[in-house]
Structure 1
Amino acid sequence: MDDGVSGTTFDRPGLNRMLGDVEANQVGTVIVKDLSRFGRDYVSVGLYTGRIFPKHDVRFIAVNNGVDSAMGENDTMPFINVFNEWYARDTSRKIRLVKEYQGKSGEHLSVNPPYGYQKDPEDPKKWIVDPEAAEVVRWIYAQCMAGYGPTQIARMLKDRKVFTPSIYLRGKGRHPTKTSEGDYSWGQKSVSYILAQNAYTGCTTNFKTRKASYKDKRVRRNPPEKQVTFENTQEAIIDKATWERVQQIRQNRRRLTKTGKVSMFSGLLFCGDCGAKMYFETGKNFNFNQNRFLCSKSRRLVNPCTAHYIRECVLYDLVLEHLRQTLSFAREHEDMFVAQLGQQAELIQKRELEVRRKTLVAAQARLLELGKLFQRIYEDNVNGKLTDEQFSNLSASYMEEQKILKGQIPGLTAEQESREAAATNVSQFLKLVRKYTEISELNATIVNQLIHKILIYAPEKVNGKRTQRITIVYNFIGEIPEGEESIAV
């Protein structure tokens, strides 16, 4: 018996056991209610009834269709099999159309809401927050902001004796598709899945996955351009700024050193000269003053960067002081702070637009030049100055370059016409400023909430003294503009 398993697939537990017995010559007769109960795949049904069963002297009977192999071949059986497969294909097509309509109208396509939500009793199509599970979700995001990875968070959840999502949902009377071993056995995959779910920001993303056809049950990931996202479809558990910051942290994954030590700055530091990551170096007997960050390209044999580093304790003091002064200035002189950021954004915008303008002009000039070159080689080919092979090679090269340029120009033109750079979200940063009235010491949560990345440059000698420049790029606002009232490190 294969209750609940579609007849469009022949990978069914009960069927597999029966076919195994057939191969072992332990079956004399196979009886089904009708041919569709055996399968809705025309080719596979024909293979078994026409070759495999006769090979093992197995009698096949389909009661409702009047099929009995002992009575000889049934001329109508191939047509019945074709109709059975067509019925499955037609049903699949209709279901796909319904799902496509639902997905494009913003309805949730998933059967079960993600951990942290539950179906609204008054309207099952809507999700409402499950308070108990939502607190666990917020705690997981907070730990990620504090610098912990999925494996560490899973271990902490187990120590805190928090039920796994499958156990928790079963206790709520829901039936999850996947179960875990042990009531508190959280896994790294479960935590990573929760950290990647944008549904917690209150939006719904449909068409994340697809299946090639009703015969192929493998699930494939859809590219982002084929996915559809609807905002504010349910109450948010995690604010969007926190979710986006967590995605950035997850992209710059922090690897534990052999000593098990990890720095709060790991994953945030980049070389200001070559753009490579700065690796955290420590030792078993190193103390805080000895830990350092080194440019990852400094030890390469080919095109190495300069061997420069910065000690963690020095970086800690610089960042703490810069944060204190920046937050203090933003809090006490908010209007001036916003004005300076606006001036900086305008300056950056003008620079970017000038670069785009030059690129656009160069692309348009090259496109005109290619048109003239193409006409010239055509005339040379007609006059016998170029062979057909030479003309073919040159024209193919020019046409490929034309195709690339024609694809670039519309985008460059749109950017030039819009004259809009990415706007700095000052209001979001000011919210954080009001949150942290006084910072006495740094921790991973503060660093991750406020700082996007830190650039470390190679040291220089100025007036006989070693001077090293670092640039702090903040979340939402980027670099702080330098001026009399601003702070530069």
Structure 2
Amino acid sequence: MVDPEAAEVVKRIFAMTIEGYGPYQIASKLKSEKVLIPSAYLAQHGEGVNKNKTFKDVYGWGSSTICNILEKREYLGHTINFKTRKHFKDKKSHYVPEDEWTIFENTHEPIIDQQTFDLVQKIRGNVRRYPDGWGEAAPLTGLLYCADCGGKMYVHRTNNGKRISQYTCSQYSKVPVGKLCTTQHRINEDVVLSLVSEMLKAIAEYAKHDRAEFVRVVQEAQSSQQTAEVKKQRIRLATAKQRVSELEVLLCKIYEDNILGKLSDSRYATLDAQYEKEQSELTAEISALEKAVKSYEKHEKDADRFIALIDKYENFDKLTIAMLNEFIEKILVHERDRKGSIQTTQEVEIYFNFVGRFVPPAFGEVELTPEELEEIRKREERKDRLHQNYLKRKASGAQKRYEDKIKGRKKAEIEAKKAAIRAEDIAKGVFVPVSSLPQREPQKGAQIA
């Protein structure tokens, strides 16, 4: 049976997460409003295992409690059994992997609908908070990917002493730098947000002007994308399954060679571990590919769902974390056409939930006038000329002498700007310097590092 009062608290926790609040922030809010923690609420009604317990703080919400609530599938109306299993060694219950649970669906009245639950899981899986997991969330984290290597793009909130949020490829930064991905694919956050906003406005206008035509175009675009994607995934699925079969044969072969003395024990152990690891990775990939291929068969009504999502919002001037995760599946960022140049082009591919990559007619290629083409040509010529001059200075050593001359001054300027930013954050309570923490006397028997 659903408790109406407790259900409202659960709904509010999910709603606050969608609005961008983190578990710690939600816990602090509930504590300040004197909302009873779950165990205290149950005890008040004579229920639960803690009804005779004396609580230290009946309003002492913790972030871990919020996280547990946000992960409970029971709120969807399902019954989940066999989450734990007793271990034969210590006879204690241990949590088992999620794929070993037994889920009985629709056994009671749901509190949270599936769409809200999925959105919350996506937000919690993507969001990273500044500076240490407790503060402000980066809206595009988990949505941007490098178009060349496929790696996630991470946000950097300060750059050279400026508060400019930029995303760069995570694979580029891994040591050795530039080995896994050759360039950073750097892009400013406000550029991507502006592009997404303008595209959603154009889509909403297009859908409002001629809904039937919009549905037809979306379905055609979706069908062509899925056909190509499914074809690639089916080819990869067949290849992976064939390799798994080959590995089974190889494992049997090296085992027989080891028993017959044709293969040493050390060599057998090395090959066995190698084949087992590859087999495990392929099995996981096959499972994911099979799910992906099956999911394409269930997308017949996705165009209608996307239109319903468009109709849900009146405008797209300000994009929230919830809106971005509702609309965006992923964003692929290509490298800039000319690195180091402010005025350059950079391709960005936006893939929407339900419909994939859809570009409204308003975002089609624009024909430039002869005057505009001439201006672009002159600008590019000037950039080429400046770059050649830079290469000449670099070859002669003049560039290095100049950089060495101004290095100290530039470094001091940047450090001063960073210090000012840190001072602002300390004043706002984002950072707490260790020196400002209250002094504590060493306790008896405690070790001091």
| TM-score normalized by the length of structure 2 | 0.63
Gapped regions of structure 2 (runs ≥ 5): 251-256, 367-449
Query: Quick check: 1:354 aligned with 2:207?
Result: no
> Aligned equivalents of 1:260 and 1:420: distance in 2?
36
Query: Quick check: 1:468 aligned with 2:343?
Result: no
Superimposed CA distance per residue, residues 42-97 of structure 1 (whole angstroms, 9 cap, x where no aligned partner): xxxxxxxxxxxxxxxxxxxxxxxxxxxxxxxxxxxxxxxxxxxxxxxxxxxxxxxx
> Aligned equivalents of 1:426 and 1:272: distance in 2?
26
Q: Cα gap change, 1:467/1:229 in structure 2, threshold over 3 Å: closer, same or farther? A: same
Superimposed CA distance per residue, residues 158-208 of structure 1 (whole angstroms, 9 cap, x where no aligned partner): 122221111222222223449753121100110000000011112222111
Q: Cα gap change, 1:459/1:227 in structure 2, threshold over 3 Å: closer, same or farther? A: same
**Higher helix proportion:** 2
Amino acid at match of 2:3: D
Residue of structure 1 in register with 2:35 after alignment: 162
Q: Could you say what secondary structure the match of 1:389 adopts?
A: coil
Superimposed CA distance per residue, residues 425-473 of structure 1 (whole angstroms, 9 cap, x where no aligned partner): 33433332221133332222322332233332221149x9511122223
Work out which of the residue numbers 440, 448, 464 in structure 1 matches 2:325: 448
Q: Cα gap change, 1:193/1:404 in structure 2, threshold over 3 Å: closer, same or farther? A: closer
Q: Cα gap change, 1:293/1:165 in structure 2, threshold over 3 Å: closer, same or farther? A: same
Residue of structure 2 in register with 1:203 after alignment: 78
Tell me by how many angstroms 1:355 deviates.
Answer: 3.0
> Aligned equivalents of 1:144 and 1:238: distance in 2?
13
Is the Cα contact below 8 Å between 2:123 and 2:321 reproduced in 1?
A: no
Amino acid at match of 2:318: E
Residue of structure 1 in register with 2:109 after alignment: 235
Which of 423-432 and 226-235 deviates more?
Answer: 423-432
> Aligned equivalents of 1:356 and 1:443: distance in 2?
33
Work out which of the residue numbers 402, 408, 428 in structure 1 matches 2:305: 428
> Aligned equivalents of 1:397 and 1:312: distance in 2?
47
Is the Cα contact below 8 Å between 1:458 and 1:469 reproduced in 2?
A: yes
Query: Quick check: 1:187 aligned with 2:68?
Result: no
Tell me by how many angstroms 1:316 deviates.
Answer: 2.4
Residue of structure 2 in register with 1:300 after alignment: 174
Q: Cα gap change, 1:368/1:234 in structure 2, threshold over 3 Å: closer, same or farther? A: closer
> Aligned equivalents of 1:133 and 1:370: distance in 2?
53
Residue of structure 1 in register with 2:398 after alignment: none
Is the Cα contact below 8 Å between 2:171 and 2:180 reproduced in 1?
A: yes
Residue of structure 2 in register with 1:16 after alignment: none
Q: Cα gap change, 1:191/1:420 in structure 2, threshold over 3 Å: closer, same or farther? A: closer
Query: Quick check: 1:146 aligned with 2:24?
Result: no
Is the Cα contact below 8 Å between 2:215 and 2:304 reproduced in 1?
A: no
Query: Quick check: 1:268 aligned with 2:143?
Result: yes
Query: Quick check: 1:255 aligned with 2:133?
Result: no
Superimposed CA distance per residue, residues 226-279 of structure 1 (whole angstroms, 9 cap, x where no aligned partner): 212122212221110111121122222413226954332233333222222322
Residue of structure 1 in register with 2:45 after alignment: 172
> Aligned equivalents of 1:468 and 1:433: distance in 2?
27
Listed as ranges, the matches of 1:214-233 within 5 Å are: 216-233=90-107
Tell me by how many angstroms 1:348 deviates.
Answer: 3.2
Q: Could you say what secondary structure the match of 1:452 adopts?
A: strand
> Aligned equivalents of 2:326 and 2:295: distance in 1?
26
Q: Cα gap change, 1:327/1:204 in structure 2, threshold over 3 Å: closer, same or farther? A: farther
Q: Could you say what secondary structure the match of 1:431 adopts?
A: helix
> Aligned equivalents of 2:137 and 2:334: distance in 1?
22
Q: Cα gap change, 1:177/1:276 in structure 2, threshold over 3 Å: closer, same or farther? A: farther
> Aligned equivalents of 1:285 and 1:301: distance in 2?
22
Amino acid at match of 2:346: Q
Amino acid at match of 1:275: G
Superimposed CA distance per residue, residues 304-348 of structure 1 (whole angstroms, 9 cap, x where no aligned partner): 531232222222222211122223323443333333333233323
Q: Cα gap change, 1:473/1:371 in structure 2, threshold over 3 Å: closer, same or farther? A: closer
Superimposed CA distance per residue, residues 112-147 of structure 1 (whole angstroms, 9 cap, x where no aligned partner): xxxxxxxxxxxxxxx2x2222111111111111122
Q: How many residues align?
A: 342
> Aligned equivalents of 1:278 and 1:372: distance in 2?
40
Q: Could you say what secondary structure the match of 1:244 adopts?
A: helix
Tell me by how many angstroms 1:366 deviates.
Answer: 8.1
Is the Cα contact below 8 Å between 1:204 and 1:229 reproduced in 2?
A: yes
Listed as ranges, the matches of 1:7-406 within 5 Å are: 127=1, 129-177=2-50, 181-212=56-87, 216-257=90-131, 260-283=135-158, 290-302=164-176, 303-305=179-181, 306-356=183-233, 358-359=235-236, 389=262
Between structure 1 and structure 2, the one with the greater Rg is: 1
> Aligned equivalents of 2:100 and 2:303: distance in 1?
32
> Alignment identity in percent?
35
Amino acid at match of 1:333: D
Q: Cα gap change, 1:235/1:167 in structure 2, threshold over 3 Å: closer, same or farther? A: same
